[in-house]
Chains A and B, each alone.
Chain A
Amino acid sequence: MQDFSAAFGLAFSLIIGADADLIEIIALSLRVSISAVLLSGLIGFPLGALIAVTRFPGRQVAAVLLNALMGLPPVVVGLLVYMAISRAGPLGWMNLLYSPAAMIIAQTILVTPIIAALTRQVVEDMHKEYDEQFRSLCIAPHRVIAALIWDSRYSLLTVTLAGFGRAIAEVGAVIIVGGNIDHLTRVMTTAIALETSKGDLALALALGIILLILALSVNAAVYGLRSSARRLAYA
């Protein structure tokens, strides 16, 4: 298979050449997935922590449900969002279909359960350590949640990266609600699917290699950020 070596060569020349179309696609991929992860964090951190800290009937059911939703199939989420925001759907008046905003919504639905479920576990473990202390000091629940989230921030960063990994890698949802429209909603994964269907396997694999490098860069950047933040904190 000469395709493998051809793909590496092609990936290299695409990066060196800074192809304008490629940069546009990478920028949109990052914009969509980072927005989705930020939104998911806004919902998922408090939600996960709330389930971890409070006691209410059905709490365990909620925890199991969240864990199960981590396995939401992207294509099903894409279909549900399509049916909701299609012009014939209940939210059709918002004109969101085939836009980056639609892709952000779909990925947010995919990523939120991952962030919420993992946050619940992280915060619950930490809560076990501090529970008695909090109770003896009579600290209000919302402050407990805020304190626990803040104290688990480094673990939650990894949780966020897990969510980012899911978002940047999925194709099933964004191809349905985005439509893979050139210069409008084409992202890395939908471009890879397109080149595969054109039979241009070398180019498809080259794009895959670039996507991996992209994910690696984001993870490295976050790791670097975390290390320097820690150094500052303990300096």
Chain B
Amino acid sequence: MASVTFASITKRFGNNEVLHDVSLQIADKEFLVLVGPSGCGKSTLLRMLAGLEETSEGEIRIGERLVNHLPPRDREIAMVFQDYALYPHMTVAENMGFGLRLKGFAGDEVDSRVLKAASILQIEPLLQRTPRQLSGGQRQRVAIGRAIVREPKVFLFDEPLSNLDAKLREEMRIEIAKLHQKLATTIIYVTHDQVEAMTLATRIAVVNAGRIQQVGTPTEVFGRPENMFVAGFIGSPTMNFIEGELRREDGGLRFRTEGVDIPVLGGTGGEAEGPTVLGVRPEAIAVERGGAGGDGVVAAEVEVVELLGYRKNVHLKVAGVKALASVSAAFGGEPGEKAGLRFDPAGVHLFEKATGRRIR
């Protein structure tokens, strides 16, 4: 078991800098998820920790030990790859025991560790098969088993579920969560799927364009996104953004734009007046049929209504932009109708238009 420290990490491929001065501390036994869009640098950061990519600048430590110049085998890590990377010419048992045999473990010890891991992952009947005889989900279990048997200090997962279908992905997600509870080891998990990030992580680090945008618990990252990128990336359906002006009037704050004039909750009082983006999650919008009436109600027009079974997604036009509200399935509005929207004050987020930074 060990903590992991990235200190001022920069990574360049030729002249192309893909990670800019990234610092991150991961505690012992923590399940940290690095989440971000494709090409943001999250996998590169993981591969640098594994020793599969060199670090251009900065320090990586596992526990107290500086590992920058150590080969992967000396870092006491295990990695699960996106494409499983099982050795095709070996059986499942040989795949799982490969690392142990290289370390010089006795045959009996290798067998007992392989059997133990196989029983945790329920793949005992597969031990004598080769990878080509396995389904996608079984291969992923074997890949995880290969990591478990080595009893590493840190587990690295590089988008391990992205090649599985939706149902299997959900099952494996639960398996991985159980595994973390059972093994109580530090896990660093890379994904572009914010649902995986939210459900698995003890902490999430949101990465974009080679920089960490926010680090926090799933609740913090969802409830108090530090910038518009995080606000838009975390949460499904995604947050609605409406551009406008923030004004201080009668001791309170009001957000105004074409057809919108609503009071918003003040924070510490330091909010600057001026161009602002209001963000509101689809779940924080209440839709009333019949148009605007009363203070704080925003006029909108219903464009499309999608029934999801237990909820309805209502696509709206608000202040000239498109917005989405997630409402009860009982909502009876029809496309073309006028509607009035009420934003839950606790679900409203304000961002500086120029920088995208949170202002409350």
Verify that A and B bind, or say they do not. Answer: no
Where the two chains meet, the residues of B that have a C-beta atom closer than 8 Å to any C-beta of A are: none
Where the two chains meet, the residues of A that have a C-beta atom closer than 8 Å to any C-beta of B are: none
